[in-house]
Amino acid sequence: MEAVKLNFQDKTNKALGINEEDALITKTYMIVAFTALLIGGTLGLLQGLNRAGLLELPVWFNYYQVLTAHGLLLVLVLTAFFTIGYFYAAMSHSLGGLLPKVRKMAWIGFGMKIVGFVMAVIPILLNQATVMFTFYPPMAASPWFYIGLVFIVLGVWICAFGAFIQVANWRKNNKGQHLPIISYFATGVFVLLFFGSVPVAIEVLYIIPWSIGWIETINVMLARTLFWAFGHTLVNIWYLTALSAWYVVVPKIIGGRRFSDTLTRLVIILLVIMNIPGGFHHQIVDPGIAESVKYMHVFMSLAIGFPSLMTAYAMFSVFEKTARKKGGTGIFAWFKKLPWGDVRFLAPMIAMIAFIPGGAGGIVQSTNQLNQVVHNTLWVVGHFHLTVGTTVVLTFFGISYWLIPYVSKRVLTPKINKLGVITTLIWTAGMSFMAIAMHWVGLLGSPRRTSYTTYADNATALSWDPYLMFLAVGGTLLMIGVLLQVYAVVHLMFFAPKGETEFPIADVEDNASKTPMWTESWGRVVVLLLLLVAMGYVIPLVEFIGNAPPGSPPFQTW
Ligand code: HEM
Ligand SMILES: [Cu+2]
């Protein structure tokens, strides 16, 4: 019965495709996301060339302004707009179209994020908010920068609540059924987006009166902690978004079935629950936090490795099963049966492979003693260009080759597919050069967030130069990758041949066991999430506030 129903839904979706109004939302979000990639990537290249000593940036747009904008555009704008645009299309597809009210919320959220972004960018351009995307006090930016951030967070919340309304409505009309898996991922992501951004909202509301001068000093530890409760969660929001494509979309693209529905839902639940109390692994060298509390957060961060290992197992199981069905043999020879020439597979596949060194580096950084070696060096920058810059971004690229034709009612041509394969390979080469160079030169002591300097021709600093040259070569390749990717997006959105493209969602195996209904109780998930947040943060926050050290006035260090 279930199968028949699904087929019917598939057919109607195929016949009608996404409705124009829902499509417009996703198209607009994608345009913003890839514009952010274009500008952010260009700024990245400027940084790379500067660090290699090849380019001096002008005083009216200095290295740290560029770096602040690069971070904000890529880790906030690109990821947020892509994630929201993608999951709104996913909900429209799997839940029978967006409700008019929800559509309106997507637009209001969009407007607020754009207004907030403009408010934050203007002071950056004026060199009044050169505080990096982490905006750690006691560095203080123009209040407008923080007010802009408030608008961005509010915009994201409106989109999250739109998603909750959409999902609740579906559940009311489909009692006793499982939420379609892609919308289940969306729910997990929006729950994390909401709860994860509460701490940063509190932080910013605390900073604003201080930056205006209404309160004299700020509790620096409190602010940093609130920031990372958010920042660390954000990382896993991207990860969960990428996972949705790996579990649900990639199996369909390679002509297979998806892995156990129960396990998929369990991975989502675990990631949502265990995520937030991990933030202190970004503050391992911060003073004033009890060792036991740091230990707990490191334990929680490593605990997230467990669902990741389950994912690795699940994905390879799907790959092998599918390849063998297509006649693949041997221990490894079946690998050749996978559709390597299809960018919709190749890009997320390389993304997954990049997560192996990416995740390993993360474990290194979470380890106290090793963290002392790499902290604030270019190693860390190498790490997150592998994880967010490759794993997440290549998955997004892979998605774009079917999602954009799906919303623009066009088709992916063999030519653009080939271009996509080339883009993926260039990106892989560029990131390999850049990330390996960054890791290496970081181990040799080269600091992050520092424009080019030889420290008066100090011998150690001079020994970094060859690696930094590799960094610049990688950055140049990446810039080519950015241009090709943006070209493909524009082409698929406005110029590719008209036609129907499906939203690829793999079916479960025919003999799959039934998924237990407890996976549907999101109320319980949220309660567990809050309990773990309390476990991770109540004691240290009470400590920071109760035994607060002297606060700090605002500083403009640049
Ligand atoms: C054209 C491609 C790219 C190039 C050439 C590039 C280059 C760089 C360089 C050289 C730095 C660091 C410098 C320093 O610490 O002094 C940096 C920082 C950073 N990059 Fe990229 N990057 C690129 C793409 C990306 C992407 C796709 C993302 C994320 C989606 C990203 C996220 C970041 C972040 C978060 C920082 C840290 C900013 C900070 O420390 O405040 N980058 N990038
Ligand atoms: Cu983290």
Nearest ligand, CA of residue 389?
Answer: 1
CA distance 42 to 478: 9
Angle at 321 between CA 316 and CA 324, to 5 degrees: 120
- pLDDT value at position 4? 44
Residue whose tokens read 């319980």? 524
- Report d(CA 555, CA 192) in Å as an integer: 33
Q: Which two tokens stand for residue 432?
A: 């390999």
Q: How far is the CA of 405 from the centre of ligand 1 (A)?
A: 29
Q: What is the mean pLDDT of the chain?
A: 95
pLDDT in tens, 114-167: 999 999 999 999 999 999 999 999 999 999 999 999 999 999 999 999 999 999
pLDDT digit string, tens, across residues 432-486: 999 999 999 999 999 999 999 999 999 999 999 999 999 999 999 999 999 999 9
User: In which band, very low, low, confident or very high, does the pLDDT at 511 lie, cut at 50, 70 and 90?
Assistant: confident
Closest Cα partner for 312 from 275, 341, 349, 343?
Answer: 349
Q: pLDDT digits over 28-72, tens only?
A: 999 999 999 999 999 999 999 999 999 999 999 999 999 999 999
Q: What's the 475 CA to ligand 2 centre distance in angstroms?
A: 25
- Please name every residue paired with 139 in a beta bridge, in sequence order, or none if there are none: 555
Residues in CB range of 200: below 8 A, 6 or more apart: 149, 153, 226, 227, 229, 230, 231
One-letter amino acid at 467 equals Y
Is residue 14 predicted with pLDDT exceeding 90?
no
Q: Is pLDDT at 8 greater than 90 in this prediction?
A: no
Closest to 204 measured CA to CA, from 136, 158, 272: 136
Ligand 1 geometric centre to CA of 495 (Å): 31
* Cα(135)–Cα(133) distance, integer angstroms: 6
- Supply φ then ψ for residue 340, to 5 degrees: -60, -25
**DSSP string of 179-236, one letter each residue:** PPHHHHHHHHHHHHHHHHHHHHHHHHHHHHHHHHTSSS-B-HHHHHHHHHHHHHHHHH
For residue 10, is pLDDT > 70? no
Give the distance (Å) from ligand 1 centre to CA of residue 272. 27
CB atoms within 10 A of CB 367: 16
DSSP for residue 137? T
Residues with CB under 5 A from ligand 2 (ion): 232
Percentage of the residues of the chain whose pLDDT score is greater than 90: 92
Q: Which residues pair with 218 in a beta bridge?
A: 552
The protein residue whose alpha carbon is closest to atom 25 in ligand 1 is 389
Q: Work out the number of other CB atoms within 10 angstroms of the CB of residue 334.
A: 19
Instruction: Tell me the ligand closest to 43's alpha carbon.
Output: 1
Question: Is the peptide bond preceding residue 414 cis, with omega within 30 degrees of 0?
Answer: no
Q: One-letter amino acid identity for 416? A: I
Residue 12, pLDDT score: 55
- Cβ of 442 less than 6 Å from ligand 1: no
Closest Cα to residue 292, out of 534, 531, 539, 530? Answer: 539
Nearest C-alpha neighbor of 159 from the set 194, 204, 196: 194
User: Does residue 72 have its Cβ closer than 6 Å to ligand 1?
Assistant: no
C-alpha to C-alpha distance for 240 and 368, rounded to whole angstroms: 26
> From the alpha carbon of 41, which atom of ligand 1 is closest?
1
- Alpha-carbon distance of 384 to 365, in angstroms, equals 11
385 C-beta closer than 6 A to ligand 1 = yes
Phi/psi at 216 (5° precision): -80, -40
- Annotate 300-344 with three-state secondary structure: HHHHCHHHHHHHHHHHHHHHHHHHHHCCCCCCCHHHHHCCCCCHH
pLDDT-derived band at 11, boundaries 50, 70, 90:
low
**pLDDT, tens only, 404-424:** 999 999 999 999 999 999 999
Is the CB of residue 246 less than 8 Å from the CB of residue 259?
A: no
Residue corresponding to tokens 């004691």: 539
Q: Rounded CA gap, 229 and 242, in Å?
A: 21
* Residue 3 predicted with pLDDT over 50: no
3-state DSSP call for residue 410?
strand
Question: Which residues, in sequence order, are bridge partners of residue 508?
Answer: 258
Is residue 67 within 6 Å of ligand 1 at its C-beta?
yes
pLDDT value for 13: 55
How do residues 348-375 score in pLDDT, each as one tens digit?
A: 999 999 999 999 999 999 999 999 999 9
Q: Which atom of ligand 1 is nearest to the CA of 37?
A: 27
For 179, left (φ over 0), alpha (ψ -120 to 50), or beta? beta
Is 5's pLDDT higher than 80?
Answer: no
Question: Does residue 51 line the site of ligand 1, with CB under 6 A?
Answer: yes
- Centre of ligand 2 to C-alpha 299, Å, is 12
Least confident of 238-247, 256-265, 304-313, 416-425: 304-313
Q: In 444-521, where does DSSP find H-type helix?
A: 459-463, 465-490
Q: How many residues does the chain have?
A: 558
In the chain, % helix, strand, coil (3-state, to 5) comes to 75, 0, 25
Asked whether 231 lines ligand 1 (CB < 6 A), one says no
pLDDT of residue 304: 87
157: number of Cβ within 10 Å: 19
Q: Is 187 helix (H, G, I), strand (E, B) or coil?
A: helix
For 399, residues 6+ apart whose C-beta sits below 8 A from its C-beta are 86, 245, 249, 348
pLDDT value at 1 more than 70 = no
SS3 36: helix
- Cα of 341 from ligand 2 centre, angstroms: 34
Q: Is 133 in the pocket of ligand 1 (CB under 6 A)?
A: yes
- pLDDT tens, position by position, 187-235: 999 999 999 999 999 999 999 999 999 999 999 999 999 999 999 999 9
Sign (positive/negative) of CA torsion 63, 65, 71, 74? negative
Is pTM beyond 0.85? Reply is yes
Weakest mean pLDDT among 6-10, 14-18, 241-245: 6-10
Q: Return the ligand number nearest the Cα of 232.
A: 2
Percent of the residues in the chain that have a pLDDT greater than 70, as a whole number? 97
